[in-house]
Amino acid sequence: MQLLGSKWLLVLAMAKSQIAVRVPPSLLAELNQYVEKTGTSKTDVVVSAIAQYLGCAESVPLSQRMAEIERRMAKLEAKEKVERKWEIHAGQ
């Protein structure tokens, strides 16, 4: 607890472990491109990938899962927009 003015502030933080991994340069380049394109963090991508691989995706925080759903929706909407443009041009 911290004293803030005349009030106590209880600060709760969920400890997260840190690991180091070695990845091939080509995989790191793909990861870098992905996070730049989607605006997510490398940590979120790696944690989600590990959770999916291990079959425990429900253990990923809800906010992180929602961000992934939003990213997928944006990708689908962009694809649909491109397809509509092709349909319009094909019909002319």
Q: What is the pLDDT of residue 65?
A: 76
**Is residue 84 assigned to a domain?**
yes
CA-only gyration radius of the chain, Å: 20
Query: Which range marks the domain in which residue 30 is found?
Result: 23-91
Count the Cβ atoms, other than its own, within 10 Å of residue 31.
15
Helix H or strand E segment including 2: strand 2-4
**Is residue 8 assigned to a domain?**
no
Q: How many domains does the chain have?
A: 1
**Is residue 12 assigned to a domain?**
no
**Is residue 78 assigned to a domain?**
yes
Question: Tens-digit pLDDT profile for the chain (92 aa)?
Answer: 444 555 555 555 556 788 999 999 999 999 999 888 877 889 888 988 888 899 887 777 787 778 878 888 888 888 888 888 888 877 76
pTM of the shown model: 0.54
